[in-house]
Amino acid sequence: MASLNLHHLRLFRATAREGTLTAAAKALNISQSAVSTQIKALETDLGHDLFERRGRNLVLTEAGRIALDYAEQIFRASEQLSATFRAVGGQRKVLRIGALATLSRNFQMGFLAPLLGRDDVEVVLRSGTQASLLRALDALRIDVLLTNQVPARDAASPYLVRRIAAQGVSLVGARSRLVLAAQGLPVLLAQAPLILPTPETALRAGFDALVESLGIVPRIAAEADDMAMLRLLARSDAGVAVIPPIVVRDELAGGTLYELAQLPGITEEFHAVTIARTFPNPLLREVMGSVPEAVNGAAAGLAGEGAAG
Per-residue pLDDT of the chain (309 residues; tens, 9 = 90+): 556 788 888 899 999 988 899 998 888 889 999 999 999 999 998 899 999 988 888 999 999 999 988 888 888 777 777 766 665 555 558 899 999 988 877 788 888 888 888 888 889 999 998 899 998 998 888 999 999 888 877 666 788 999 888 889 999 999 999 999 999 999 999 999 999 999 988 788 899 999 999 999 999 999 998 888 999 999 999 999 999 888 888 899 999 999 999 999 898 888 999 988 877 888 888 888 765 443 443 333 333 343 345
Using alpha carbons, select from 65, 200, 62, 75 the residue that is nearest to residue 135.
75
Residue-level pLDDT at 51: 92
d(CA 11, CA 27): 10
pLDDT of residue 308: 42
CATH class (in words) of the domain with range 166-268: alpha beta
What is the per-residue pLDDT for 116?
86
Q: Where are the domains of the chain?
A: 6-78, 92-164+270-301, 166-268
For residues 13 and 68, is the Cβ–Cβ distance under 8 A?
A: yes
Could you tell me which residues are beta bridge partners of residue 97? 125, 144
CATH of domain 6-78: 1.10.10.10
166-268 and 92-164+270-301 share a CATH fold: yes
Nearest-Å Rg of the Cα atoms of the chain is: 24
Query: For position 5, what pLDDT does the model report?
Result: 81
Cβ neighbourhood burial of 202 (10 Å; 0-12, 13-18, 19+): middle
Compute the distance between CA of residue 194 and CA of residue 177 in angstroms, rounded to an integer.
11
Q: For 92-164+270-301, CATH number?
A: 3.40.190.10
Q: What is the pTM of this model?
A: 0.60
- Distance from C-alpha of 32 to C-alpha of 29, rounded to nearest angstrom: 9
Alpha carbons 194 and 172: distance in angstroms, whole number: 10
